[in-house]
Amino acid sequence: MAVVLALLALLVAAAALVVALRNGRSSGTTGADDLPADAAGLRREVAALRAEAVGALRHLAVVRYDAFDEMGGRLSWSLALLDDTGDGVVLTSIRGRNEARTYAKSVAGWSSEQELSPEEAEAVAHARLARS
């Protein structure tokens, strides 16, 4: 009985695979239909994608450190999240023995109106050098 059920399950699976493959071929959902066929069209498409990505937070860097002498393990950190023009935010979490504090500072053009700590400035510098 178990052998018959196993064979029946195998036949159903094979039929489902055949149907899925046949539907995939006939619908033509390869994604290539959406792309232009000529080089100029491809250049326009790439330019549009690049223009879209300018505002994306693509430059990221984390600096971990010990904020206090009595703390070990580099549990404090500064994280820079910036776009291609250097706009974004620096998030900082300072871990003490009994508490943790989190700060956010805005960044425009790779600098901030608020004074950055050395670790925050280092995170921005590393993010600027980061290639995505």
* Single-letter amino acid, residue 64: R
CA–CA separation, 99 vs 94, rounded Å?
8
For residue 117, give the H/E element and its range.
none
- What does the alpha-carbon distance between residue 5 and residue 8 come to, in Å, rounded to a whole number? 5
Helices (H), 28-59: 39-53
Q: What is the mean pLDDT of residues 55-83?
A: 91
Q: How much is the pLDDT for 18?
A: 67
- Exposure string (b/e) for 23-43, b if CB count within 10 Å is 16 or more? eeeeeeeeeeeeeeeeeeeee
Residue range 86-97, pLDDT digits in tens = 999 999 999 988
- Give the residue carrying structure tokens 């250097």: 86
Residue 50: its pLDDT value, please? 85
